[in-house]
Amino acid sequence: MNMLDAILGAQAGSASQQLGRQFGLNERQVSSALSALVPALATGFQQNMSSPQGLDGLLSALGGGQHQRYVDDPNTLDRPDTRADGNGILGHIFGSKDVSRQVASRASAQTGISESVLKGMLPVVAAMAMGAMSKRMAASPTPAAGARPAGDLLSMLTPMLDARNDGSIVDDVIGLLGRFGGR
């Protein structure tokens, strides 16, 4: 299951419904917003995973951050600590608030949803993305000694990154990174 499907299907759609209530969006708008935001997050996560330090940091955060609660309990989504955690995640994967603003701006142009709504939604969606990856890691068999579970995470991110469905994410990732200022 890819990251977008994991978020949309969390708690049989209850998490998406909570997002709708929280941000004043209907079901179609939530789906549209997530479809625009999650690929940018997936790109950021994949870029972060491309270095050993970034991968180790992500795996450590997934193992100890209790992020699963964001997809397991929709009531956590409107809490201030969720937004704070999401902003921390965005800082790690994008490196600057400017990139987050660009992501929200591009998503607004794609969806017609207010940029301010998407800016507010982005940290919550980032927390949910970490929750989906954390849940995936917890459900995966324990890797053999010395093996890294990065392949399982990549299998969750890759479908979000192959926008052309050509079997290669290289061209799509380069395009996304170029749009977000190389970071």
Place of tokens 């050993």: 52
**Domains identified in the chain, total number:** 1
Tokens of 91: 């800082």
pLDDT at 168: 44
Q: Show the domain range for 158.
A: 3-141+148-179
| Span 157-165, average pLDDT | 48
Residue among 83, 116, 85 nearest 101 (CA): 116
pLDDT band for 8, please (50, 70, 90 cuts). confident
pLDDT at 9: 83
Query: In the predicted model, is pLDDT for residue 87 greater than 80?
Result: yes
pLDDT band for 40, please (50, 70, 90 cuts). very high
Query: In the predicted model, is pLDDT for residue 154 greater than 70?
Result: no
